[in-house]
């Protein structure tokens, strides 16, 4: 970040080395090839610049009991993708030091930059700020509290420019007491020494009796463990992000399902009205049809059957055709058009949801897209105007059988009444024939003419009454069949609407939700498996870290 050049100079420059040493350190970038992004600084008694390595005599490089090398990188531009090589070098450094100027780059912005190892253990975040007592430091401190609380990053506040100003007080060659005092005040006030103390705390402090190679190996081992820990933490973050993404997908499918359920409930109310009340459209239509057919049935009196018996079937069928739920049929055709628009809306919502995932997402599924397209292109997918009216015609045709039976009952009633009347007249005539000795006395019924007339009239009346009763009973049976068919019509229409909603209107959105739910289940199983593996690796890392801790 900004000020890295000044920070490295303030750390490595000794106040009493030769001017040549100071010049080599201060002009280290000028000796690098054009376009160079980094410079390595090692200890050397003779100042030199060999390629990308600069040798300087610096007591800071010998302050840790280990061969220390400082690699300095040019400040990256926030918002630009990091150089992979620089990012790799920063993440694999034993002690990465990141300098941030909170005025030009907020700490929160730097913390999210992918090229900086601020999530890695043993990283130092040096924040450009005046002395710790300065009011600006308190303001900057509030920005880094959250980052410092994570425990992986050590945060220090430094002022490299003030440290360089103090070093400049001794450049004249003659160190007066005032110059020395100002040097000490500036170096102390810059808080540069906090970086040195933090580096000492982070590097493993082995016994002087331990060979140097072993101590260097311990440093590299510590760095390796930090990298593994950071990789596992990153893995956990990625898995957590996958969980949140799965939750977001389920939230989206749940929202779409809620809209589907709401649409189903509203459609039933809009099409059929409130069940069991005056708003029930089906009951009203059947009752209105019954009211329209009732005069026709009432006109079929028993005494009219003698000259209308052959027209009973045609008369009733014609009356039913005129009256059978015509208004309801027109309403159902209208609502079929609304269902087609609703189908388009839900299909677009489902396709939009499935296409909202980028190609790299686990929920981007060309198979699911093709499945939805196949459903939408099926011949049974479009909603026709007659999709809801089928039960009306089916139930109307079922009235033909009761009508045929009623027609047969009318014929039997006419035959019965005719037979009874003729039989009664026959008995009466036979009585008079006996009285008048017609046919030479061959006819003799054994009763007087008055009795025969009474018996004949009684028989005719009883026969007619019986036939009339059978006819009225047949009509009542026809009306019971009407009521039964009307109740069945209500069930059929509601079942047809439900089937239309499931099989046409919501078929694409339901398939999309089911497909995404399946992908979520598969993804969660993978995430849980990986979480178990990460947990196992973390436990193993903790065990090994305990083993190497003195």
What percent of the chain is predicted at pLDDT more than 90?
A: 20
For residue 154, being part of any structural domain is answered with yes
Which of 306, 496, 487, 337 has its CA nearest to residue 413?
Answer: 306
At 442, the pLDDT band (50, 70, 90 cuts) reads very low
* pLDDT 10s digits, 196-210: 999 998 887 766 677
Biggest distance spanned by C-alpha atoms of the chain: 180
Which pLDDT does position 536 carry in this prediction?
92
C-alpha 101/C-alpha 350 separation (Å) is 47
Which pLDDT does position 457 carry in this prediction?
58
Same domain, 165 and 258: no
C-alpha 463/C-alpha 467 separation (Å) is 6
Stretch 414-426: mean pLDDT: 57
At 368, the pLDDT band (50, 70, 90 cuts) reads very high
Which pLDDT does position 311 carry in this prediction?
67
C-alpha 517/C-alpha 353 separation (Å) is 13
* Domain C-terminal end among 182, 203, 224: 203
For residue 232, being part of any structural domain is answered with no
Q: How many domains does the chain have?
A: 2
Stretch 500-507: mean pLDDT: 90
- What six digits make up the tokens of 530? 């990986």
- The H or E element spanning position 353 is helix 326-355
For residue 223, being part of any structural domain is answered with no
Stretch 451-469: mean pLDDT: 60
- The H or E element spanning position 470 is helix 449-500
Same domain, 178 and 43: yes
List all residues 6 or more positions away from 549 whose beta carbon is below 8 Å from its beta carbon: none
Which pLDDT does position 118 carry in this prediction?
81
**The domain containing residue 437 runs over which residues?**
240-533
For residue 230, being part of any structural domain is answered with no
Stretch 271-283: mean pLDDT: 69
At 439, the pLDDT band (50, 70, 90 cuts) reads very low
For residue 233, being part of any structural domain is answered with no
The CATH number of the domain holding residue 167 is 3.40.50
Same domain, 523 and 473: yes
C-alpha 467/C-alpha 413 separation (Å) is 5
Beta bridge partners of 50: 53
List all residues 6 or more positions away from 133 whose beta carbon is below 8 Å from its beta carbon: none
- What six digits make up the tokens of 321? 């055709």
Which pLDDT does position 129 carry in this prediction?
81
C-alpha 84/C-alpha 29 separation (Å) is 21
* pLDDT 10s digits, 149-171: 555 788 888 888 888 888 888 77
* pLDDT 10s digits, 9-59: 989 988 878 888 888 888 888 888 777 888 889 988 887 777 778 888 888
Q: Which of 84-88, 384-388, 390-394, 420-424 has the lowest mean pLDDT?
A: 420-424
Question: pTM for the full model?
Answer: 0.71
Query: If you average pLDDT over each of 145-149, 220-224, 293-297, 371-375, which comes out highest?
Result: 371-375
Stretch 423-436: mean pLDDT: 51
Same domain, 125 and 198: yes
Stretch 65-77: mean pLDDT: 83
Is residue 190 within 8 A of residue 132, CB to CB? The reply is no
Does the pLDDT at position 263 exceed 70? yes
For residue 366, being part of any structural domain is answered with yes
Strand order in the sheet with 48-50: 48-50, 53-56, 38-43, 70-73
Which pLDDT does position 136 carry in this prediction?
60
Which pLDDT does position 453 carry in this prediction?
54
C-alpha 481/C-alpha 499 separation (Å) is 26
How far from 268 is each of 275, 385, 467, 508, CA to CA, in Å?
9, 17, 47, 20
Which pLDDT does position 508 carry in this prediction?
93
For residue 542, being part of any structural domain is answered with no
Does the pLDDT at position 542 exceed 80? yes
Which of 372, 392, 375, 384 has its CA nearest to residue 500?
Answer: 384
């Amino acid at each position: 970040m900004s000020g890295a050049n000044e920070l490295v100079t303030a750390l490595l420059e000794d106040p009493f080395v030769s001017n040549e040493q100071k010049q080599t350190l201060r002009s280290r970038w000028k000796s690098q090839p054009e376009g160079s992004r980094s410079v390595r600084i090692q200890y050397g008694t003779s100042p030199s610049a060999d390629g990308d390595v600069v040798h300087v005599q610096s007591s800071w490089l010998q302050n840790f009991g280990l061969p220390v090398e400082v690699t300095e990188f040019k400040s990256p531009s926030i918002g630009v993708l990091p150089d992979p090589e620089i990012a790799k070098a920063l993440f694999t450094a034993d002690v990465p030091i990141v300098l941030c100027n909170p005025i030009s780059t907020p700490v929160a912005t730097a913390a999210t930059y992918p090229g900086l190892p601020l999530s890695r253990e043993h990283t130092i975040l040096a924040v450009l700020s005046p002395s710790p007592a300065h009011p600006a430091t308190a303001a900057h401190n509030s920005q880094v509290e959250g980052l410092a609380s994570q425990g992986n990053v050590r945060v220090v506040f430094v002022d490299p420019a003030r440290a360089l100003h103090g070093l400049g007080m001794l450049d004249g060659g003659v160190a007066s007491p005032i110059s020395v005092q100002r040097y000490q005040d500036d170096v102390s006030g810059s808080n540069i020494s906090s970086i040195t103390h933090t580096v000492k705390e982070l590097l493993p402090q082995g016994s002087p009796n331990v060979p140097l190679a072993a101590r260097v190996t311990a440093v590299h081992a510590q760095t390796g463990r930090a990298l593994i820990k950071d990789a596992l933490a990153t893995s956990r973050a990625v898995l957590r992000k996958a969980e949140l993404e799965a939750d977001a997908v389920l939230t989206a499918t749940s929202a779409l399902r809620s809209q589907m359920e709401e649409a189903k409930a509203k459609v039933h109310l809009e099409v059929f009205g409130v069940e069991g009340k005056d708003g029930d459209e089906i009951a009203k239509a059947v009752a209105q049809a019954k009211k329209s057919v009732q005069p026709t049935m009432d006109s079929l009196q028993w005494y009219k059957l003698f000259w209308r018996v052959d027209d009973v079937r045609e008369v009733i069928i014609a009356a039913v055709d005129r009256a059978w739920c015509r208004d309801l049929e027109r309403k159902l055709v209208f609502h079929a058009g609304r269902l087609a628009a609703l189908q388009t809306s839900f299909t677009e919502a489902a396709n939009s949801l499935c296409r909202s995932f980028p190609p790299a997402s686990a929920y981007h599924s060309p198979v699911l897209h093709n499945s939805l397209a196949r459903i939408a292109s099926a011949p049974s997918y479009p909603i026709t105007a007659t999709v809801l009216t089928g039960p009306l015609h089916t139930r109307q045709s079922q009235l033909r059988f009761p009508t045929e039976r009623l027609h047969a009952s009318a014929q039997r009633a006419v035959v019965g009444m005719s037979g009874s009347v003729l039989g009664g007249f026959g008995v009466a005539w036979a009585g008079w024939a006996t009285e008048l000795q017609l046919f030479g006395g061959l006819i003799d019924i054994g009763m007087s003419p008055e009795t025969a007339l009474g018996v004949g009239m009684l028989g005719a009346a009883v026969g007619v009454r019986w036939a009339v009763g059978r006819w009225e009973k047949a009509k009542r049976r026809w009306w019971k069949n009407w009521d039964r068919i009307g109740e069945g019509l209500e069930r059929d229409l509601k079942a047809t609407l439900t089937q239309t909603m499931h099989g046409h209107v919501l078929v694409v959105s339901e398939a999309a939700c089911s497909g995404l739910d399946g992908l979520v289940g598969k993804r969660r199983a993978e995430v849980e498996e990986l979480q178990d593996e990460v947990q196992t690796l973390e436990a193993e890392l903790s065990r090994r870290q305990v083993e190497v801790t003195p």
